[in-house]
Amino acid sequence: MSAFSLDPAQTAWCAELRTLAAERLRPLAEKGEPGRINRPLVAALGELGLLKRLFGDTSALDLCLLRESLAYACTEAETALALQGLGTYPLVQAGTGAQRERWLPDIVAGRAVAAFALSEPDAGSDAAALALEAVGSGADGWRLTGEKCWISNAPEADFFTVFARTGEAPGARGITAFLVPADRPGLTGSALEMLSPHPIGALTFDGVPVTREDVLGEPGRGFRVAMNTLNLFRPSVGAFAVGMAQAALDSTLAHTSGRFAFGGPLKDLQAVSHRAAEMATRTEAARLLVYAAACAYDSGAVDVPQRSAMAKLFATETAQYVVDAAVQLHGARALQRGHLLEHLYREVRAPRIYEGASEVQRSIIAKELYAGTSAEEDAR
The pairing of strands 264-265 and 187-191 is unpaired
Q: What 8-state DSSP symbol labels residue 51?
A: H
Distances (CA, A) of 365 to 118, 224, 304, 314, 332: 22, 19, 10, 12, 38
| Positive or negative torsion for Cα 225, 153, 316, 235 | positive
CB atoms within 10 A of CB 319: 30
DSSP string, 289-342: HHHHHHHHHHHT-TTHHHHHHHHHHHHHHHHHHHHHHHHHHHGGGGGSTT-HHH
Q: Helix, strand or coil for residue 168?
A: coil
Type of residue numbered 218: E
Tell me if 57 sits within 8 A of 6, measured CB to CB. no
CB atoms within 10 A of CB 92: 15
| 355 is an active site residue | yes
What are the CB-based long-range contacts (under 8 Å, 24+) for 306-310?
306/364, 306/365, 306/368, 306/369, 307/235, 308/231, 308/234, 308/235, 309/234, 309/356, 309/360, 309/361, 309/362, 309/364, 309/365, 309/368, 310/361, 310/365
Tell me which of 156, 168, 355, 368 is the catalytic residue: 355
Active-site positions read: 355
